[in-house]
Structure 1
Amino acid sequence: MTTIEAQRAHHGEGTELPARRKRKRSPYPSWFYLPAALIYGVLFLVPTFASFYFSLTRWTIFDSHFIGFENFVNFFREPALVSGLTHTLVYAVVTSSLKVVLGLLLAVLLTSQIIGRGYLRSVVFFPVLVSTIGVGLTFTVLMNPERGLINESLAAIGVQGPGWLTDPSYALLSVALVDVWKGVGLATLIFIAGIVSIPQEYFEAARVDGASATASFFKIVLPLARPATVTVVILSLIGGLRSFDLIWAMTRGGPGFTSDVIASVIYKQYQAGFYGLSTAGNVILFLVVTAIILPLYWFLSRKEVEL
């Protein structure tokens, strides 16, 4: 007689499994989620569906006329709008790539046995706490081509500094570098959390086997810190694709349209009174972010499970 049968015989039950009793579920969990669902619906779902509708109209505050996909057609006919979309992709790729690489290297450094490790962690993370507009205004002064501290420092060693924010070839990348300086601290913090969660037994076994620090990095840190890497990649890409405040504070999309991203173009269209066109731009931005992030997250998560 099996253990289960013996227990059932002891309690005077038959060998057949009884019908599963239906438990009366309390309505409390459902009611508990209702306020959050209501807030989410009012603040996110309703504006999202409303923006999809108004992107198909020519509207003002008091009136709207349905015009179909004309706003989207006009969006892709405008060179400034298309270039803004291109700049957005370039900006997102540059900032997210640098944050991942620099954040991982800094995290490896700041989890090693170095002097002042806690202080250095604070220094790296400090820019994250500073206002984005404040950072933008500060670096606008520092990057002034004539009186900025950066070019004056370069001139002291005989190097002619470029017009960081006034030269069309440098403006977008200059803002991207400032974005990396401000955001790499958060990436570093996430990587630190991922690295310190790795069991020390792996590193001890690697040292016993005579593995070098480089081998431990590629064989232990990189594979086991993959969840942190996925998080940093996704957050950095989303931030880069939606970036607006830093660019607006430093260049306002200039010189010309050379540092315009789609968010700044949308804002300019709102300022000019083209509400339907700017709403269509918002929808396009939403679709671009969704089309990039969801497949990437699925791909990276699937690879993570396979590991």
Structure 2
Amino acid sequence: MTTPSVRPRQITDAPRRRPGRSAYPYWFYLPAAVIYTVLFLVPTVASFFFSFTRWSLFDFTFIGLDNFVQFFKEPALIKGLVNTFIYGVVTSGLKVVLGMLLGVLLTSQIIARGFLRSVLFFPVLLSSIGVGMVFTVLMDPNNGLINDALALFGIDGPKWLTDPAWALMSVALVDVWKGVGLATVIYIAGIVSIPAEYFEAAKVDGASSFKSFWNITLPLARPATATVIILSLIGGLRSFDLIWAMTKGGPGFTSDVIASVIYKQYQAGFYGLSTAGNVVLFLIVTAIVVPLSMFLNRKEVEQ
């Protein structure tokens, strides 16, 4: 006698999925959107508007492009533009090179690797104003610790912050000292994400450490390099606080950058003129960084 097979009962009362997607997840974007609008979009639009006006705290008068015309007639502007580009290229270039080398060193099997990483990153946490004040004392040409240390080796140290030939580069070196830790951390993250099998295969093939670096680490760390270049260049082109704390754009106008020229206009009470300068700086940084970022990301995709 055969037993009839019993089929499992199908559940037919399961809830049906509603057509379309729920808007509920998008509500989580609302706080970020509000903060972004209040802290970035509104000030940006307001800056563009007030750059076409002569304004004070209580009133404004629309004057068209007069602020921009006057800003580009400023005697210190050309020097500030040149210094801005020099400062941005030097600081970002050194951070890329030193960050890559230190990243390779701190991902190798060295003693106290974790401690060295912490020490290297510590300057990033310090205030730029505080760092500037400390290095102003250290770079004093007569009583500064740096020149005293050089004198022990028979080297006559330069006038770091008072010599027009050294002032801008001195601040740039301090900027690199303060910011190279962040570049190193980015490179460390990029290097440790490279599969170890590549290095093992290169070692089996007899490749030297330099060839492994050149053919494996350097190309596969390209995303980290692109990130460091973009962040360092933005910071260099917009730099103000460290320069102002150490030289105030001096001696003369030799270490002035666009941001310090703008601040001097604020100090003099030319608010519309300085706002136009801020718009010019924003457009310059955008015109440089956006195409560069697209170029670096396209190269990364092609790889």
TM-score (norm: length of structure 2): 0.92
| Deviation for aligned residue 1:190 | 0.5
Q: Structure 2: how far apart are the matches of 1:226 and 1:191? A: 9
What is residue 67 of structure 2 aligned with on the other side? 71
Q: Structure 1: how far apart are the matches of 2:109 and 2:26? A: 50
Does residue 53 of structure 1 match 2:49?
Answer: yes
Q: Structure 2: how far apart are the matches of 1:75 and 1:85? A: 12
Query: Deviations 1:79-100 (Å, cap 9, x if unpaired)?
Result: 2022112211110000000000
2:70 aligned counterpart, secondary structure: helix
| Deviation for aligned residue 1:33 | 2.0
What is residue 266 of structure 1 aligned with on the other side? 262
Q: Structure 2: how far apart are the matches of 1:108 and 1:256? A: 41
| Deviation for aligned residue 1:67 | 1.2
Equivalent residues in 2 for 1:5-154 (5 A)?
23-154=19-150
Does residue 192 of structure 1 match 2:179?
Answer: no
Does residue 165 of structure 1 match 2:136?
Answer: no
Query: Deviations 1:38-83 (Å, cap 9, x if unpaired)?
Result: 2211221111011001111111111211111111111111120221
Does the CA contact (< 8 Å) of 1:145 and 1:164 recur in 2? yes
What is residue 229 of structure 1 aligned with on the other side? 225
Q: Which runs of 5+ in 2 are unaligned?
A: 1-9, 11-16
Q: Structure 1: how far apart are the matches of 2:166 and 2:31? A: 48
Does residue 294 of structure 1 match 2:282?
Answer: no
What is residue 241 of structure 1 aligned with on the other side? 237
| Deviation for aligned residue 1:35 | 2.8
Query: Deviations 1:228-251 (Å, cap 9, x if unpaired)?
Result: 111100110011011111111111
Residue 220 of structure 2 aligns to which amino acid in structure 1? L
Residue 56 of structure 1 aligns to which amino acid in structure 2? F
What is residue 212 of structure 2 aligned with on the other side? 216
State the number of aligned residues.
Answer: 288
1:78 aligned counterpart, secondary structure: coil
Does the CA contact (< 8 Å) of 1:190 and 1:228 recur in 2? yes
Query: Deviations 1:124-168 (Å, cap 9, x if unpaired)?
Result: 111112221111111000000100011112222222111100001
51-60 vs 94-103, greater mean Cα deviation: 51-60
Q: Structure 2: how far apart are the matches of 1:67 and 1:42? A: 26
Q: Structure 1: how far apart are the matches of 2:83 and 2:227? A: 23
Q: Structure 2: how far apart are the matches of 1:290 and 1:209? A: 45
| Deviation for aligned residue 1:107 | 0.7
TM-score (norm: length of structure 1): 0.91
2:252 aligned counterpart, secondary structure: coil
Residue 301 of structure 2 aligns to which amino acid in structure 1? V
Identify which of 145, 166, 170 aligns with 1:174: 170
1:58 aligned counterpart, secondary structure: strand
Does the CA contact (< 8 Å) of 1:75 and 1:82 recur in 2? no
1:97 aligned counterpart, secondary structure: helix
Report percent identity of matched pairs: 76
Q: Structure 2: how far apart are the matches of 1:256 and 1:123? A: 36
| Deviation for aligned residue 1:22 | 6.6
| Deviation for aligned residue 1:265 | 1.2
User: Which ranges of 4 or more aligned residues in structure 1 deviate by more than 4 Å?
Assistant: none
Residue 278 of structure 1 aligns to which amino acid in structure 2? S
Root mean square deviation of aligned Cα: 1.4
Residue 224 of structure 1 aligns to which amino acid in structure 2? L
Q: Structure 1: how far apart are the matches of 2:144 and 2:240? A: 23
Does the CA contact (< 8 Å) of 1:136 and 1:249 recur in 2? yes
83-92 vs 96-105, greater mean Cα deviation: 83-92
Distance 1:197 1:269, change over 3 A: same
172-181 vs 159-168, greater mean Cα deviation: 159-168
What is residue 206 of structure 1 aligned with on the other side? 202
